[in-house]
């Protein structure tokens, strides 16, 4: 099954089960002091983070491979009258001249890993812009989980990849098997 069909199927099922999207709790806590701006939500899914950020004063570009997810985010943004530009994008092909360097105050990626996006993220962040990422990592306590190691960060990988940024929060939560980074481009 191709990735678009796979994610359309997953999101359709979640909507049938009436699972409304919620923002990532660590994201919500960490960005609470920011004053809006331009945000990019990569792999936005059903839009929990995008909707939260728009309600906090951000103008959000939300990207996902799933037509179902993008339509849902567009409908919710229209219903709530909040500024979200949701569009379908194959995230494996984001290195695109349509993106303007240093155009975002905040970039968010949750539970999606494509290491080739890291240089793009760095180039799209404005000076003093913030980056938040949380996804699975190769935690010793989660070795037999249902996520392949191909889609997990290595221990301390985000610290290594974003070492030139000011690290505002970093966590490797072994119990949850997730790695979280919140940093500022300086």
Whether the Cβ atoms of residue 36 and residue 103 lie closer than 8 Å to each other: no
Neighbours of 80 (CB within 10 A): 11
The confidence score (pLDDT) of residue 5 equals: 85
pLDDT cut 90: percent of the chain above it: 67
The confidence score (pLDDT) of residue 162 equals: 97
Q: How many domains does the chain have?
A: 1
Range of the domain at 81: 3-184
Cα–Cα distance for residue pair 17/14, rounded to 1 Å: 5
- pTM value? 0.90
CATH number at residue 45: 3.40.50.150
**In the predicted structure, residue 56 carries a pLDDT above the cut 60:** yes
Whether the Cβ atoms of residue 27 and residue 108 lie closer than 8 Å to each other: yes
Q: pLDDT digit string (tens) for 10-25?
A: 888 777 777 678 999 9
The confidence score (pLDDT) of residue 6 equals: 83
Confidence of residue 150 (pLDDT cuts 50, 70, 90): confident
Task: Over range 102-125, report the average pLDDT.
Answer: 94
Whether the Cβ atoms of residue 74 and residue 84 lie closer than 8 Å to each other: yes
């Amino acid at each position: 099954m191709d990735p678009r069909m796979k994610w359309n199927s997953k999101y359709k099922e979640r909507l049938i089960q009436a699972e409304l999207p919620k923002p990532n709790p660590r994201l919500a806590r960490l960005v609470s002091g920011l004053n809006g701006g331009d945000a990019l939500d990569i792999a936005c899914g059903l839009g929990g983070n995008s909707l939260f950020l728009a309600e906090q004063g951000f103008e959000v570009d939300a990207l996902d491979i799933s037509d179902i997810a993008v339509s849902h985010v567009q409908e919710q943004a229209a219903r709530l009258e909040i500024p979200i530009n949701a569009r379908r994008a194959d995230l494996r092909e984001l290195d695109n001249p349509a993106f303007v360097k240093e155009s975002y105050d905040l970039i968010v990626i949750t539970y999606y890993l494509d290491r080739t996006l890291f240089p793009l993220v760095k180039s799209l962040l404005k000076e003093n812009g913030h980056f938040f990422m949380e996804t699975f990592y190769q935690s010793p306590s989660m070795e037999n989980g249902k996520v392949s190691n191909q889609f997990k960060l290595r221990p301390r990988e985000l610290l290594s990849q974003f070492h030139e940024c000011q690290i505002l929060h970093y966590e490797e939560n072994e119990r949850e098997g997730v790695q979280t980074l919140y940093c500022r481009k300086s």
